[in-house]
A = this chain, B = another copy of it.
């Protein structure tokens, strides 16, 4: 790889990061978590300090049901970013993913920008990351390579078809995805996570993934960072058909709230990671009550780390999660999974239409056709 190519990647990576920091990169649709009401319980029989927010994930005990979603690596400034993110994750006992390790495969000089995460993050899960396109392009053995490079506890394969389609020079061949994932599942020793990057996973896909042995899905739904917007912003002044066509795809995707239930319905005993627009502790509580096991956040951590407010930010979120747990009488995350919630509005309409099931045995929803849903479930 020559210097120019490197600079090019470097520039794009930096573009992505600086554009993602801008508020414009978010929304415009919300996660639909606003359609979930956690029913206030005025009596808890709990002490704040007794509330147990820990969950087991990838063999570790996380202090909070939270991971920092994979974002960066592979260029100079990424080292500092990943270091800061890992420090936060380590300090608060939560999971962390690195960004796509494609750069590392092309240019091994950049390996340290990923490795720094594992070096700092003792005793917490670290997740490797690769795009499905690279897996197909470079073969399944790179899966092992990226995992080993950072001694990862799991490998996240990201699906970003829409992002590619919005790029003038993006991929246009999306074949063999399922086979490629199956290959990786069979080959790598760590669990494989499949994730989107902001448009959500459907029931149909989750079902297929479950069939090939995927036990962890990160929904990465619509409502937070919007890659269509970010890629459009990168076009700047150039006018072309791909860009013009893409503008109407700004609202394409499955809102995170819906995607949680879609995936949960298909992956009854697996792990569902809620991400895409998760922004505070109430969102975390709602996601888990709706069907998720843990949550992921990307952009907010990036922002917090850049602004040197990461501790403040995470402590706020933790306090909110505990408040929400207290006010729903949840002594631990398992209890939170079954607190009374009311599902309303568009999310209720979606769940009813799609005939999805709910894990939460105290989820209330006003749709006739699914009034017996929670009773019928064979969960756990």
* Contact partners of A49 in chain B: CB under 8 A: 172
Known: A323-B165, A323-B249, A354-B364. A196 touches B42 (CB 8 A): yes
Given A48-B174, A242-B319, A245-B317, 4 other A-B residues pairs in contact with their CB atoms under 8 A = A42-B202, A48-B173, A241-B319, A248-B281
Interface residues on A, range: 35 or more
Interface set, chain A 197-227, CB cutoff 8 A to B = 199-202, 204-205, 208
* Contact partners of A173 in chain B: CB under 8 A: 47-48
| Residue from the list B161, B172, B241, B323 in contact with A327, Cβ < 8 A | B161
Interface set, chain A 325-380, CB cutoff 8 A to B = 326-327, 340, 342-346, 348-350, 352-355, 364-369, 371
Q: Tell me the minimal C-beta distance from A299 to chain B in angstroms.
A: 17
- Are B354 and A159 closer than 8 Å at their CB atoms? no
* Contact partners of A270 in chain B: CB under 8 A: none
Scan A235-258; emit 1 where CB is below 8 A from any B CB, else 0: 000000110111011001110000
Q: Tell me the minimal C-beta distance from A245 to chain B in angstroms.
A: 4
Scan A160-192; emit 1 where CB is below 8 A from any B CB, else 0: 011001000000111111100000000000000
Q: Tell me the minimal C-beta distance from A59 to chain B in angstroms.
A: 27
- Are B45 and A176 closer than 8 Å at their CB atoms? yes
* Copies of chain A in the complex: 4
* Contact partners of A177 in chain B: CB under 8 A: 43-45
| Residue from the list B245, B349, B366 in contact with A323, Cβ < 8 A | B245
Q: Tell me the minimal C-beta distance from A336 to chain B in angstroms.
A: 15
Interface check A41, CB cutoff 8 A: yes
Known: A343-B353, A353-B342. A165 touches B46 (CB 8 A): no
Interface check A315, CB cutoff 8 A: yes
Interface check A316, CB cutoff 8 A: yes
Known: A161-B42, A254-B40, A327-B161. A340 touches B204 (CB 8 A): yes
Q: How far is the CA of A49 from the CA of B174 in the complex (A)?
A: 10
* Contact partners of A353 in chain B: CB under 8 A: 342-344, 348, 364-366
Q: Tell me the minimal C-beta distance from A76 to chain B in angstroms.
A: 31
Interface check A5, CB cutoff 8 A: no
Q: How far is the CA of A274 from the CA of B112 in the complex (A)?
A: 56
Q: Tell me the minimal C-beta distance from A222 to chain B in angstroms.
A: 8
Scan A46-88; emit 1 where CB is below 8 A from any B CB, else 0: 1111000000000000000000000000000000000000000
- Are A340 and B202 closer than 8 Å at their CB atoms? yes
Q: Tell me the minimal C-beta distance from A32 to chain B in angstroms.
A: 12
- Are A315 and B241 closer than 8 Å at their CB atoms? yes
Known: A177-B45, A202-B39. A368 touches B365 (CB 8 A): no
- Are A248 and B320 closer than 8 Å at their CB atoms? yes
- Are A40 and B364 closer than 8 Å at their CB atoms? no
Q: Tell me the minimal C-beta distance from A348 to chain B in angstroms.
A: 8
* Contact partners of A134 in chain B: CB under 8 A: none
| Residue from the list B38, B159, B343 in contact with A42, Cβ < 8 A | B159
* Contact partners of A349 in chain B: CB under 8 A: 344-345, 348, 366
Known: A175-B47, A199-B42, A340-B204. A366 touches B364 (CB 8 A): no
- Are A244 and B312 closer than 8 Å at their CB atoms? yes
| Residue from the list B241, B344, B350, B364 in contact with A355, Cβ < 8 A | B364
